[in-house]
Amino acid sequence: MNNFEYSRATDVADAIRQIVADPAAKFIAGGTNLVDLMKYDVERPARLIDITHLPLNSVEETNDGGVRIGALVPNSDLAYHPVIATRYPLLASAILAGASQQLRNMASTGGNLLQRTRCFYFYEVATPCNKREPGSGCAAIKGINRINAILGTSEACIATHPSDMCVALAALDAKVHVAGPAGARAIAFADFHRLPENAPHIDTTLAPDEIITVIELPPRSFAANHSYLKIRDRLSYAFALVSVAAALEIDGGRIKEARLALGGVAHKPWRKVDAEAALQGAAPDRTIFVKAADILLEGAKGFSHNDFKIDLARRAILRTLTQAANGTPQIQSVKRIR
Ligand code: SF4
């Protein structure tokens, strides 16, 4: 690991001041990804700005029925918070599907959004990787790409975003509140993470001198009919090969509103409004679930080792929508797929 300086921010304004003064610095909260990246020599920040003392660690219900989650709320606290566990069980379930209890205790909500890909070559500095070193090439496209993306890829990068929590936040239509030298702004979750295109080193639309302050959930929570299903090589402490967040509002035997997002298959949580529109107004049955899966997976392309993900994703979508429609969500403490 390289030497670095360390400072502590006292409030959001001070954090912004410090990052503007030293653009080679990085914010650190739980450090569950950044410290690994520094040990592997993938990240070499000249300074770490410790933001753990900022007042961003509360979960508050809003007047319009939504919830504001401070960026520093640890993943465990969020999953077990009574408001999240009861009103937003899809989010709680996705969080509990990720990492390990110890990591969830450390990892922050904002940091979860900013974690970087787990592509093997990104962490191996002896290999070409456009995300780590722009212009060097992509070792994964013709390499071992079992864990890589099948949707939204580019010739420059086929990495996936590793988060479970973000898949649920995408399905729930969350908003990301950020602050920077130009003031505060809100980013729709769908616009927060980028596809790789020809700049895979840029993961998100967050500017380098901005900080995430709050994640906002809208009032609609899909508590009755939801499921988060994660398929992985090991039953715990493994990243998703494919994951699915499904949320349905069913009224009179018909789907009034649907949300469907995939993890482990793209550079960002993969969602298509057309797939959700196809479900709307239909009876929740296999025929319409197959149609939604077809739309969501349109254009999917494997790179040899990960070809299996296309069929796996299709089956996982059908299973998760069925679980959601039946009101029998996947329980993360029960490893058997229901
Ligand atoms: Fe790097 Fe992306 Fe290629 Fe992986 S897929 S080696 S992260 S450029």
Concatenated DSSP letters for 285-337?
A: SHHHHHHHHHHHTTT----STTTHHHHHHHHHHHHHHHHHHHT-PPPTT--S-
For residue 138, the ligand 1 atom closest to its alpha carbon is 3
Q: Ligand 1 within 6 A of 317 CB? A: no
Give me the amino acid identity at 291.
Answer: K
Let me know if 86 is exposed, middle or buried by CB neighbors in 10 A (0-12, 13-18, 19+): exposed
pLDDT of 16-38, one tens digit each?
Answer: 999 999 999 999 999 999 999 99
Asked whether residue 96 is assigned to any structural domain, the reply reads no
**Looking at 52, 68, 84, which one is the last position of a domain?**
52
Q: Is residue 79 part of a domain?
A: no
User: What is d(CA 208, CA 45) in angstroms, rounded to the nearest whole number?
Assistant: 13
CB 49 within 8 A of CB 25: yes
For residue 123 and ligand 1, the question of a CB distance below 6 A is answered with no
Residue 80 belongs to a domain: no
Find, among 119, 153, 163, 173, the residue nearest to 269 by Cα. Answer: 163
CA of 159 to the centre of ligand 1 (A): 5
Q: How far is CA 208 from its chain centroid?
A: 19
How many folded domains does the chain comprise? 2
Alpha carbon separation from 53 to 10, 12, 15, 152 (Å, rounded):
6, 10, 10, 37
Residue 117 CA: nearest ligand 1 atom is: 7
In a domain, 76, yes or no: no
- Tens-place pLDDT, residues 187-231: 999 999 999 999 999 999 999 999 999 999 999 999 999 999 999
pLDDT band for 235, please (50, 70, 90 cuts): confident
Q: Calculate how far, in angstroms, residue 144's C-alpha sits from the geometric centre of ligand 1.
A: 11
pLDDT confidence of residue 335:
72
Q: What ligand 1 atom has the least distance to the C-alpha of 137?
A: 8
What CATH number does the domain containing 250 carry?
3.30.390.50
Could you list the beta-strand ranges (E) of 3-119. Answer: 5-8, 25-28, 47-50, 59-61, 67-70
pLDDT(286) > 70: yes
Cα(200) to centroid(ligand 1), Å: 8
Residue 200 in domain? no
Q: Residue 275: inside a domain, yes or no?
A: yes
Nearest in space to 54 (alpha carbons), one of 108, 101, 97: 108
Range of the domain at 296: 225-326
Q: Which residue puts its alpha carbon closest to atom 2 of ligand 1? A: 157
Centre of ligand 1 from the C-alpha of residue 157, in Å: 5
> What is the rounded distance in angstroms from the CA atom of residue 305 to the CA atom of residue 214?
38
Question: Can you list the pairs that 103-107 forms with residues at least 24 positions away whose Cβ atoms lie under 8 Å?
Answer: 103/32, 103/75, 104/74, 104/75, 104/76, 104/79, 105/74, 105/75, 105/76, 106/30, 106/31, 106/32, 106/74, 107/30, 107/32, 107/33, 107/74, 107/75
Picking from 303, 312, 294, the residue whose alpha carbon sits closest to that of residue 150 is 303
Does residue 43 lie within any of the structural domains? Answer: yes
Residues in the chain: 338
Write out the DSSP string of 238-254: ---SEEEEEEEEEETTE
Q: Which of 94, 75, 77 is nearest to 171 (CA)?
A: 94
Q: How far is the CA of 154 from the centre of ligand 1 (A)?
A: 10
**Which ligand 1 atom minimizes the distance to the CA of 119?**
4
Tokens of 252: 């009179």
Please, are residues 194 and 268 in contact by the beta-carbon 8 Å criterion? Answer: yes
pLDDT one-digit tens code per residue, 250-268: 999 999 999 999 999 999 9
- Is the beta carbon of 293 within 6 A of some atom in ligand 1? no
**Domain contains 181:** no
Identify the pLDDT of residue 1: 67
The answer to pTM > 0.75 is yes
- β partners of residue 39: none
- Give the chain's mean pLDDT: 97
Strand-pair partners of 215: 69, 176
Indicate which CATH number applies to the domain containing 29. 3.30.43.10
Closest ligand 1 atom, CA of 139? 6
